[in-house]
Structure 1
Amino acid sequence: MTNKKYALIGFLAPAIFWTTYFIMANQRTEYSFLTKAVSELGSLDAPNKWIWNIFGYIVPGLLIAVFSVGLYRSIVQEIGSKLPLYGIFLSGVFMAISGIFPGDFENRQSTIMLLHSVGSMGSYLFFLIGAFTYPKPMKKTVKWKSVVKPLLLLTWLTIGIGVWPFVFIEYPAVGQRIVFLLYFSWICIAAYTLYKNPNTKYEAV
């Protein structure tokens, strides 16, 4: 598959996520982006929960996993650590897992809620692994060196926004939306840079 095809797959992930989010959120008058978690669109008691879980988490997660393969092949030109690949790949896989197991917000100690949380937290933690290990190989390539600082900035901002619920107690969910925005911005910048690279076709790893 070519760089451009991998890049388009990368662009599709945030496009599908945000389109599904705005459609689903606007269908529920009681749903507030200020106080409700994104996952509550697909919670066990939510109407049309599988629409959100499939198109909000599972499909975007799997697209990110596929995109991560092309991203790694474009950046890493020599044998080295595969942590960048594993990080972004597993971030997508765990996002999909969070959709397979809908959150039970009425019983946060339940097994299904635990599995949902593992998917959500796992997706973010693996993203950090990928995002913090990519700068080293990126700096070795002229085409990728210019995006190292913007991507690192986005990564650090996701960590900084983690204090949002403790500072803005009345609007705890806004911080989560910002983190999603930063996360998908990282994916979009990487996808755009990949799209501009030569239209190389890769063989299987």
Structure 2
Amino acid sequence: MNKRTIRKLLIGGVVLFWIACILTAFLHPNYSHLSQYISELGAKNAPSNWLMNYFGILPMGLALVLFGIASWENELVNKTTNVLFVISGLLFALLAFFNCDVGCSFQYLSTEAIIHNQLAMFAFLLFLMIELIHLIRTYVKASKLEIPTLIAFVFGVISLYYLISEGIYSDYKGLYQRMYLLSFHFWFLYLISSHKSHASLN
């Protein structure tokens, strides 16, 4: 596959995710981006859940897998980070097929909902681990902190902290989740558009 095409697919995965999130929320009566999880847009019996799952979540997950594979031979990220990209991408992509229950209720969880929650938890934690490993690696190699990565990591830690600490009944859990994903996605776009990435994926 042409490297320029790969780069466009990577960016497209991020763009499609957020377009699907906005469109599906518009089609979901009384949905709140502040207080509801993104997963509720793809939940069982949710309006247009196929749009969120197959045109939002799945492409984003596959983009992470593609990056991990396509960047294997360059010096942008190390082999461990590449593997983590592939694993986290697969976990994220599987969320399209294992949906949470109606309204993402945490009462009387179905087996599918339990799998969904576990997949999401591990994927989110791997995102932070990827950023941390990359941050440490760039510091060791260049003896300086990569500011975009540092900002994304700190922002991600803070967002995830509030998401977990305030719990499922928080009026802002949807906001915290979006803040977390946005920090990672902006960093991902920075990574694939950086000078070295441009040379290897363009």
TM, length-normalised to structure 2: 0.83
Determine which of 144, 160, 163 is the counterpart of 2:161.
Answer: 163
Question: Is 1:182 the counterpart of 2:168 in the alignment?
Answer: no
Residue by residue, what CA displacement relative to the aligned partner does 1:48-68 show, whole Å, maximum 9, x if unpaired?
222211112112101211012
Distance in structure 1 (CA, Å) of the matches to 2:174 and 2:81: 29
Give secondary structure in 2 for the equivalent of 1:161.
Answer: helix
Q: Which residue of 2 aligns with 1:192?
A: 193
- Percentage of identical aligned residues: 20
**Cα 1:67/1:147, change in 2 over 3 Å:** farther
Worse-superposed segment, 98-107 or 160-169: 160-169
Question: Is 1:93 the counterpart of 2:90 in the alignment?
Answer: yes
Count of residue correspondences = 196
Residue by residue, what CA displacement relative to the aligned partner does 1:107-166 show, whole Å, maximum 9, x if unpaired?
452210111112211211222222222235445778xx9882211220221111123352
Q: Which residue of 1 aligns with 2:52?
A: 52
Distance in structure 1 (CA, Å) of the matches to 2:8 and 2:145: 18
Ranges in structure 2 where 5+ consecutive residues have no aligned partner: none
Runs of 4+ in 1 over 4 A off after TM superposition: 139-142
Distance in structure 1 (CA, Å) of the matches to 2:19 and 2:201: 30
CA deviation after TM superposition for structure 1 residue 29, in Å: 2.8
Question: Is 1:154 the counterpart of 2:152 in the alignment?
Answer: yes
Q: How do 1:46-85 residues align onto structure 2 when only pairs under 5 Å count?
A: 46-75=46-75, 82-85=79-82
Question: What is the RMSD of the two structures over their aligned residues, measured on CA atoms?
Answer: 2.9
